[in-house]
């Protein structure tokens, strides 16, 4: 009953897990972090950052990556720095690598520098939510820009094994994602061989409890910046259902917290990357503005699929 992702990870020895969409995405990778560590693998953490890491972190790796550790200066919004303290409290190595929001080219070179520095043989991008599966012809794309930047940069990085894992099905409705399109895109990846199965993250396990503990820790550290995605996933793990709000940021909207949010959806990274209709338009970008502009132009010009609600 082992899903294809874990069969594909069997030969892995040194793994880099990176949050691809920025903010708290790395939190969605913590269950994998715990699971792979328990198998004796050496696992490192990274995240696309929304913080001013160029000011806070003196240790630079490649054009746009920084080491976040105890020497990194605290600032208002800095989940990666707080996670360093969370790791230390667990008796683990207190460091995370963070990427600035730049273009694909500097991000790719930074991934290459990290892969070389850490001697990793496996790269896993993690998305909190599922908008990373948007190809560009959907009715709405959510906040695809950061995900697309990381996916294209990582796809062009030389590494023996590369995967994308999504956690939080349904949470992106708040950001305007059509989940009918996500399932349609997943079905296409099943047909092409790029889908590697689903597995549930559960409370009461070391993997699920690590995510819950990290979310509580970050909420206490940053009470005014509680993550909508991470807290919705945590609510689902705890058994909440329906229009449940763990943060004031979502008040006035209707949420649908449900057990499907606790599923990891697993894919071959290259299979996802090559389905993106804007891949070539952003692959040569140097700045994040170029990424945003190229995706916006592509979405404006292309014929789009209709928005469809799930017939359930």
For residues 126 and 172, which has the higher predicted lDDT (pLDDT)? 126
| Residue 295 CA, distance from chain mean position | 19
Q: Which two tokens stand for residue 111?
A: 């991934």
The answer to whether 268 and 5 have CB atoms below 8 angstroms apart is: no
Q: Is the pLDDT of residue 248 over 90?
A: no
Burial class of residue 66 in the structure, from the number of CB atoms within 10 Å of its CB (0-12 exposed, 13-18 middle, 19+ buried): buried
Q: Which two tokens stand for residue 228?
A: 């909508």
- Digit-coded pLDDT (tens) for 249-290: 767 777 788 999 999 999 999 999 999 999 999 999 999 999
What's the CA gap between 160 and 173, in Å, rounded?
34
The answer to whether 278 and 298 have CB atoms below 8 angstroms apart is: yes
Do you know the residue count of the chain?
Answer: 312
Distance in angstroms between the alpha carbons of the first and the last residue of the chain: 27
For residues 189 and 242, which has the higher predicted lDDT (pLDDT)? 189
Q: Which two tokens stand for residue 103?
A: 């273009």
Query: Cα dihedral sign for 242, 244, 250, 254?
Result: positive
Q: Any bridge partners for residue 106, and if so which? A: none
Q: Taking the CA atoms of the chain, what radius of gyration do you get in angstroms?
A: 18
The answer to whether 61 and 97 have CB atoms below 8 angstroms apart is: yes
- Digit-coded pLDDT (tens) for 61-113: 999 999 999 999 987 899 999 999 999 999 999 999 999 999 999 999 999 99
The answer to whether 139 and 172 have CB atoms below 8 angstroms apart is: no
Q: Using the structure block, give the residue that is written with the tokens 């069997």.
A: 10
Average pLDDT on 49-64 reads 95
- 3-class DSSP assignment, residue 206: helix
pTM over 0.85, yes/no:
yes
- Digit-coded pLDDT (tens) for 182-214: 999 999 999 999 999 999 999 999 999 999 999
What's the CA gap between 312 and 309, in Å, rounded?
9
What is the structure's pLDDT at 89? Answer: 97
Average pLDDT, whole number, for the chain? 95
What is the structure's pLDDT at 231? Answer: 94
Could you tell me which of 104, 148, 184, 180 has the C-alpha nearest to residue 274? 148
Burial class of residue 105 in the structure, from the number of CB atoms within 10 Å of its CB (0-12 exposed, 13-18 middle, 19+ buried): buried
């Amino acid at each position: 009953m082992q899903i294809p992702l874990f069969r594909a990870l069997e030969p892995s020895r040194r793994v880099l897990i990176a949050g691809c969409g920025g903010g708290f995405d790395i939190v969605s990778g913590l269950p994998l972090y715990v699971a792979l560590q328990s198998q004796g693998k050496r696992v490192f953490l990274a995240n696309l950052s929304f913080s001013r890491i160029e000011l806070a972190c003196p240790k630079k790796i490649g054009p746009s990556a920084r080491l976040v550790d105890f020497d990194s200066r605290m600032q208002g919004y800095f989940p990666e720095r707080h996670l360093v303290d969370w790791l230390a409290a667990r008796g683990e190595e207190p460091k995370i690598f963070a990427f600035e929001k730049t273009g694909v080219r500097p991000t790719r070179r930074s991934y290459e520098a990290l892969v070389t520095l850490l001697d990793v043989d496996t790269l896993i991008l993690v998305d909190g939510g599922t908008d990373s599966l948007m190809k560009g012809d959907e009715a709405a794309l959510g906040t695809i820009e950061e995900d697309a930047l990381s996916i294209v940069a990582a796809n062009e990085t030389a590494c023996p094994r590369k995967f994308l894992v999504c956690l939080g099905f349904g949470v992106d409705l708040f950001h305007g994602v059509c989940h009918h399109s996500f399932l349609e895109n997943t079905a296409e990846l099943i047909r092409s061989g790029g889908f590697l199965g689903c597995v549930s993250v559960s409370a009461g396990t070391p993997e699920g409890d690590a995510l819950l503990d990290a979310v509580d820790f970050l909420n206490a550290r940053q009470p005014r910046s509680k993550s909508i995605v991470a807290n919705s996933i945590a609510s689902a793990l705890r058994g909440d259902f329906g229009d449940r709000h763990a943060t004031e940021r979502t008040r006035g909207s209707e949420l649908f917290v449900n057990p499907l949010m606790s599923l990891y959806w697993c894919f071959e990274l290259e299979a996802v990357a090559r389905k993106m209709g804007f891949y070539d338009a952003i692959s040569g970008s140097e700045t994040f503005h170029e990424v945003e502009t190229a995706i916006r132009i592509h979405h404006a010009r292309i014929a789009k699929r209709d928005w469809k609600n799930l017939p359930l």
